[in-house]
Chain A
Amino acid sequence: MEEQLAELAAKVAELEASAGVTNTIFAETYYYLTIPLMIIIHAGFLAYEMGASRLKNVLASGVKNILAFAFMVPTFYFFGWWVYWAFPTGITLSEGPNGISGLAYANEIALPWVEYMGPNIADNASGVFWGAFTLFAATTASIMSGAVIERIQVVGFVILAIVLGSFAWVVAAAWGWHADGWLVTKFGLHDFGAAGLVHAVAGFFALGVLINLGPRIGKFNADGTANHIPAHNLPFTLTGLMLIIVGFWGFLMACLIVPGEVWSWYGDKFATIYGTPITLSALSFNILMGFAGGIIGAWAITRDPFWMMSGGLAGIIATASGLDIYWPPLAFAMGFAGGGLLKPCSAWLERRGIDDAVGAVTVHGTIGLFGLIMLGIWGSGYPAAQGPDAPTINLMGQIIGAVVFFLLGFVPGYVVSYILKLFGLLRVSEEAEILGLDMTKVPVSAYPEGIGMSGSPAE
């Protein structure tokens, strides 16, 4: 009898170990796959920006976008990841209530030379988490990238991208997208899909840069009225926008914490980054409803395919903060409002002399804050985080978060671009802008045979 019991116990232990390994490999694979999905966002931004550029600047816009991505990877490794773990409680760098933040913790897990930041057979989590966050960072840089096309210097742009992607939004994430974040623990901020801390921060960072950068030559007339500078390839831009939407599934997938690991909140269900339960089914309902609402809202107002696809993106951003709790028709209505708001908000900005070439400030900045604040109404009363003492979601908390995210984007964007302007590193020369940036500095041609009618079809 004893022998049989021992045999049974050994069998159970073996099964438990096997289940544990399966879970670890599932978790690692899950986050690993979010990385290529999020790279699709960058394929989208690349197509979007190049299509929106005039023929003379196509490749220069592409070079800039590709470099933003490339520089984000090492800089996020050098210090961006460390910032996320060091800053949640504020600038004191002290440890938070969950014990997963502060200077000592960040030094232990995120400095480039510690055991978790390279090959480690006993660590299946750090690399894939870091990779997913690096792609979030690169997304912020790409958001800014589109707004400033056709007149910004490459190195000046890369410096701005690093400040935004490896510092500014990371501080916002530490404060509002971390269980120890002070905006969460003190004010009940909830921003599940990063409408404020990714989109609004990046959008208003871009606004700060645009003020110092100035409009493209020919954008505004002497009386202040604006001219439309058409995209050289709108179908390419529209395809790019659709690719961004595809990539967003990976982005939002990476906002979840998988169950069953030592660092998981639950053994049996997905959680948000705040430790609150969520399902992929809830995400599927609400992402699709927000996306559809955004397209329809923009169509109802503009009838313009550029704004319709931007509206799809705005629809997701408008609902992002509450994708975990919204009832789907509300996500649809929020998306519709986000899509409908785009064109009037963009026109308002243009009347103030801001030349945002792709509407990034409006799509990401304005709609990001709109979605963040509206969750304070629709989601008020829900616990913002896990645990019996968690603060509840409330309008004031969301507004405070919105103000903080606006400042975390706008101030560094304005200050750093102002310094770059002083050193002559911000704007290209007038001659280069008029001739075209491709002919000035890109060693290859985008369309060496021109763009003409295709040959007659074979009979």
Chain B
Amino acid sequence: MGSAFSDWAEATGPMYMGANSSWEVIWTLVAVVICLFALYMGSKHELDAYKRLKK
């Protein structure tokens, strides 16, 4: 993915992944999608369980 520096002596502040190529924004979006997906699937599982009980 690349690094913004070749020697750690140059690293004096934030260290963005992928040589400052905005991957931190992409990973944030991925993490949000994962949370929404997990909640959706969890809700589906729970509602299915209640439906099974009614039957």
Contacts and interface: CB of A to CB of B under 8 A. Distances in A.
Which 6 residue pairs across A and B have the least CB separation, nearest first? Answer: A329-B31, A381-B3, A329-B27, A381-B2, A330-B27, A382-B3
B17 A325 contact: yes
Interface stretch (A11-19, A73-81, A292-300): A292-300
A378 B15 CA distance: 13
Interface stretch (A82-90, A205-213, A384-392, A446-454): A384-392
Contacts of A300: 37-38, 41-42
A329 B24 contact: yes
SS class of chain B's interface: helix, strand, loop or mixed? helix
Interface string A382-408: 110011101010000000000000000
A289 B27 CA distance: 12
A299 B42 contact: yes
B31 A333 contact: yes
Contact of A325 (B15, B28, B35, B41): B15
Contacts of B35: 296
Contacts of A260: none
Given A329-B31, A379-B1, A277 B38 contact: no
A380 interface: yes
B16 to A, nearest CB: 7
A69 interface: no
12 contacts: A300-B38, A300-B41, A333-B30, A336-B38, A381-B3, A383-B3, A383-B5, A383-B6, A383-B7, A383-B8, A388-B6, A388-B9
A336 B11 CA distance: 29
Contacts of B7: 383, 387-388, 390
Interface of B: 1-3, 5-9, 11, 15-17, 19, 23-24, 27-28, 30-31, 34-35, 37-38, 41-42, 45
Nearest to B30: A333
Which of A289, A329, A336 has the most chain B CB within a 10 Å cutoff? Answer: A329
A395 B9 CA distance: 23
A380 B1 contact: yes
B3 A392 contact: yes
A326 B15 CA distance: 9
A327 interface: yes
B28 to A, nearest CB: 4
Given A299-B38, A300-B42, A333-B34, 19 more contacts: A275-B8, A289-B31, A299-B42, A300-B37, A300-B38, A303-B45, A327-B23, A327-B24, A327-B27, A329-B24, A329-B31, A330-B30, A332-B31, A332-B34, A333-B31, A379-B1, A382-B3, A386-B8, A388-B6
